[in-house]
Structure formats: C-alpha cells, structure tokens
C-alpha cells in the first residue's frame, strides 16, 4: 500500500536518531567546546608550535639573505626542525611518504604508457607515523599523570586550620607536572620558645616540567626534614640553601623561595625572601606593602646569608604570595598581566575570606589571559589574618 501523505519529520525541538548520533559524536570530539573556543585554542596551539620550532631556525643567517628564496629557506628550516624531532626510522618513513605523495611515476613499456600513483601509500605511511607518535605521547602522558599524582601528595590538598589565620592556595602547572611548591604547616619555634609557629612556603624551581618537578620534590623533602627541628627562620633558610647548593648542578638549578613564620601570640610575621617575587601585604588602611627583604635564590652560593625581617600584622590584613608565572601570564596580544595590575587587584580586597580573594584573583588572571596558552607554572597563596 502506498501513501500520498507528507513524509514524517520530527516535531520541532526533536531530532532524528541519526542527527542525535552525529551531535553526540561531535560533543565527544570537541568535549563540549564552542567553535570560537576551538578556534582560540587552535590559534594558541599554532603560536606555541611556531615558538617551539622557531628556536631551531638560524634567524641571524636568514636575515642576511633578502632574496626571493628566503621564504623557501625558512620553510625548509622549519621542516628540518620538525624532521629531526623524529627517530631516524620515522624520518626516513616521512621522507618516503612525501616522495610517494608528490611524485607520479610514468613509463612506457612496449609502447604502452603506464602511470603509477602511490599517493595513497604515502598517506598510509603518514597515518602510521602519526599513530606511532600518538602512542609515544599517550605513554608519556600516562607516566606524567602518575608523576602529577605523586606531586599532589607532596603538597597539601586543603589549607591547615590555624586559629587567627585563614589560608587559601591555588596552583596550575604549565604542563602535567610543575616546579612550583607551596606549603603551610606548624613547626617548632626557636629553641627555648614556647609552642609552635605556622610556616608558610612558596617556592619556584628554575625550569619547567619534569626536571623542575623532580627538584621540587627534593626541595619539599628538605623543607619538611629541616623544619622539624627547633630553630630560627634564619637557620632554616641557611640550611635550605646549603641543601639546594648540593643539588643545583653548579647553580644551574636554583630555587627562589619565600618563607614566612606567623607567631599569633606576638602578632608578628617573620620572613625571608630568597630571590622570590616580593609578596603583597594589604594593610587595613588600604595601602599595599611589598615584602622583598632577603637574599639570593637558594642554590647559587653556599656562603649566602639570609636575615629574616619581622613585620607586625593587624587584624584583617591580607598577605598574597605568588610565583612569577602569575605576574607574567600573557594574553593573545603578548601583554603581561604584570605586578602593577596584580597589586591593584590585591588593594581592592577588603573583608573577603582568603578563598574568596584567591578565586577573584585567579578569575581576574583567567579573564585577562583568555584563550592564550599558559607558558609558566602559576602558584599563589593567600593568608587573611584575624
């Protein structure tokens, strides 16, 4: 029986099973991102990739040649930079794939013209190289994720509960693992002193990714080991520097750090700044002070001296300690967030909790950066004193 009625169409607001499957596949591939977000991420990836490979180009030599062949020489330099990142076997396979895709082979046996096109084989070889590279990346990513989990165990997952001070922190590694370190815990005070003091630490190991993360782990172990003994903050800084010098590869892997001890009974904050970005202390009057007194980064000179400085803290004042990755976060135009902007944001806080202030600060950085790729580890610790 035939029907002359109109073909069925789903009611408005509903979709056919096929379109639903397509939409589900698209959502899975894009992870729910909008087209403008995907385009922004693609541009950020392209800029980062260009920066990565351009380091291999001898731009000084390129600048001496202004002939018409210069663009081709630059393209060839980029191609060689990419090619040499592969293993020797994959380099040969890539060159073979390019040859097969570009060239067509024509010959005429016994007067008959025969044309052979191996482009499909070249594409297959490219997919094989891609599959091999992806397998390496997935294996490395799995190892890095394990390292990230271990690194997370080395830092507190939530702030300590300490009477008289409200603490919050945030960290974002540039890669899977980071060279930034933050901590806050109670330790014995100087010999003869009654009770314990709160030690707050924010540090940044020179470098990025795995090498910096490994040194960060050794630095964390040394902080907890040395801080467990009674002693002054000066002694702790000196001992940390000696330890860092023994593991700094002749000063190549130094560590900037800010150490602060909070004595609630005396309402006194004593600190040592070892080459770190000077934290901001927002006073109840609305003024913002920088805590920059200290010495060299740890690991540069075993004879460096560190003298702690004491500042009085009034109820309601806010301390913000950060690593350079926060102040140097850049947007798509290459502009830095900058310490002046950061100081202005800290000055705007009044009676917010440490967590609220931290969320507002990180949100402000996110808004400024937009879709630009993060180029350094970011860590921040905020302490509101009551």
pLDDT for 249 equals: 64
d(C-alpha 233, C-alpha 281), whole Å: 19
Q: Which residue(s) pair with 321 in the sheet?
A: 381
d(C-alpha 248, C-alpha 196), whole Å: 31
Residues 148 and 164 in one domain: no
pLDDT for 247 equals: 75
Residues 202 and 268 in one domain: yes
221 found inside a domain: yes
CATH at 251 = 3.60.40.10
62 found inside a domain: no
Residues 240 and 378 in one domain: yes
- CA dist 121 → 88, 101, 125 (Å): 20, 8, 6
Residues 366 and 223 in one domain: yes
Residues 141 and 225 in one domain: no
Residues contacting 367, CB < 8 A, separation 6+: none
280 found inside a domain: yes
d(C-alpha 324, C-alpha 204), whole Å: 8
Residues 132 and 266 in one domain: no
284 found inside a domain: yes
The encoded tokens of residue 339 equal: 């310490």
Helices and strands: H and E segment counts in the chain? 11, 13
Residues 312 and 203 in one domain: yes
Residues 3-23: b if buried by 16+ CB within 10 A, e if exposed: eeeeeeeeeeeeeeeeeeeee
Which pTM was predicted? 0.71
Residues 147 and 165 in one domain: no
352 found inside a domain: yes
- CA dist 67 → 57, 58, 126, 254, 366 (Å): 17, 16, 33, 45, 43
Residues 120 and 232 in one domain: no
Domain span at residue 141 reads 93-106+113-154
273 found inside a domain: yes
83 found inside a domain: no
Residues 202 and 289 in one domain: yes
Number of domains in the chain: 2
pLDDT for 2 equals: 44
* Residue that the structure tokens 């180029």 belong to: 375
**Cα-Cα end-to-end distance for the chain:** 84
139 found inside a domain: yes
Residues 169 and 139 in one domain: no
**Is the distance from CB of 333 to CB of 370 less than 8 angstroms?**
no
Tell me the residue ranges of DSSP E strands in the chain: 104-107, 114-117, 165-172, 180-188, 196-205, 255-263, 268-274, 280-282, 288-290, 294-295, 309-312, 318-322, 378-385
Torsion region of 343: left, alpha or beta (phi above 0 gives left; psi -120 to 50 gives alpha): alpha
Neighbours of 288 (CB within 10 A): 17
Residues contacting 380, CB < 8 A, separation 6+: 169, 170, 171, 202, 320, 321, 322, 323, 326, 358, 361, 362
Residues 131 and 170 in one domain: no
| pLDDT tens sequence for the chain (386 residues) | 444 444 555 555 555 667 778 888 888 888 788 888 778 778 777 877 887 788 888 877 777 667 777 888 888 888 888 888 899 999 999 999 998 888 877 666 666 676 777 888 889 999 999 999 888 888 877 777 777 777 677 788 888 898 889 999 998 888 766 678 899 999 987 765 667 889 999 999 887 767 777 788 888 889 999 999 888 999 999 999 998 888 766 656 789 999 999 988 888 999 999 999 999 999 999 999 999 888 899 999 889 999 999 999 999 999 999 999 999 998 888 899 999 999 999 999 999 999 999 999 999 999 998 878 888 889 999 999 98
d(C-alpha 342, C-alpha 311), whole Å: 22
Q: Under DSSP, is residue 47 helix (H, G, I), strand (E, B) or coil?
A: helix
pLDDT for 219 equals: 87
């Amino acid at each position: 029986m035939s029907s002359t009625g109109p073909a069925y169409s789903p009611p408005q607001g509903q979709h056919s099973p096929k379109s639903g499957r397509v939409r589900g596949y698209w959502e899975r591939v894009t992870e729910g991102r909008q087209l403008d977000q995907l385009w922004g991420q693609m541009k950020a990836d392209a800029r980062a990739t260009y920066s990565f490979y351009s380091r291999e180009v001898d731009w000084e030599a390129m600048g001496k040649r202004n002939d018409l062949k210069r663009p081709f020489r630059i393209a060839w330099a980029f191609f060689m930079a990419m090619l040499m990142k592969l293993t020797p076997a994959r380099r040969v396979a890539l060159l073979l794939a390019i040859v097969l895709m570009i060239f067509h082979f024509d010959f005429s046996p016994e007067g008959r013209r025969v044309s052979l096109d191996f482009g499909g084989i070249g594409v297959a070889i490219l997919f094989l190289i891609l599959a091999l590279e992806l397998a390496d990346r997935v294996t490395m990513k799995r190892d890095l994720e394990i390292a990230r989990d271990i690194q997370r165990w080395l830092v507190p997952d939530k702030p300590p509960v300490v009477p008289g001070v409200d603490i919050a922190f945030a960290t974002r590694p540039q890669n899977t693992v980071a060279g930034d370190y933050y901590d806050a815990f109670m330790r014995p005070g100087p010999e003869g002193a009654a009770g314990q003091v709160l030690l707050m630490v924010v540090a940044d190991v020179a470098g990025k990714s795995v090498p910096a993360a490994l040194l960060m782990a050794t630095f964390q172990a040394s902080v907890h080991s040395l801080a467990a003994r009674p002693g002054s903050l000066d002694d702790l800084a000196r001992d940390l520097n000696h330890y860092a010098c023994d593991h700094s590869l002749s000063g190549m892997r130094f560590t900037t750090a800010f150490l602060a001890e909070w004595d609630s009974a005396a309402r006194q904050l004593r600190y040592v700044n070892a080459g770190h970005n000077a934290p901001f202390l927002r006073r109840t009057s609305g003024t913002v002070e920088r805590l920059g007194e200290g010495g060299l980064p740890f690991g540069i000179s075993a004879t460096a001296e560190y003298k702690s400085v004491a500042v009085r803290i009034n109820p309601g004042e806010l301390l913000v300690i950060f690593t350079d990755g926060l102040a140097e976060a850049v947007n798509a135009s290459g502009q830095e967030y900058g310490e002046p902007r950061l100081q202005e944001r800290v000055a705007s806080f009044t009676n917010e909790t440490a967590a609220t202030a931290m969320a507002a600060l990180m949100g402000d950085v996110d808004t400024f950066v937009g879709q630009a790729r993060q180029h350094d580890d970011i860590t921040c610790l905020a302490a509101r004193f009551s």
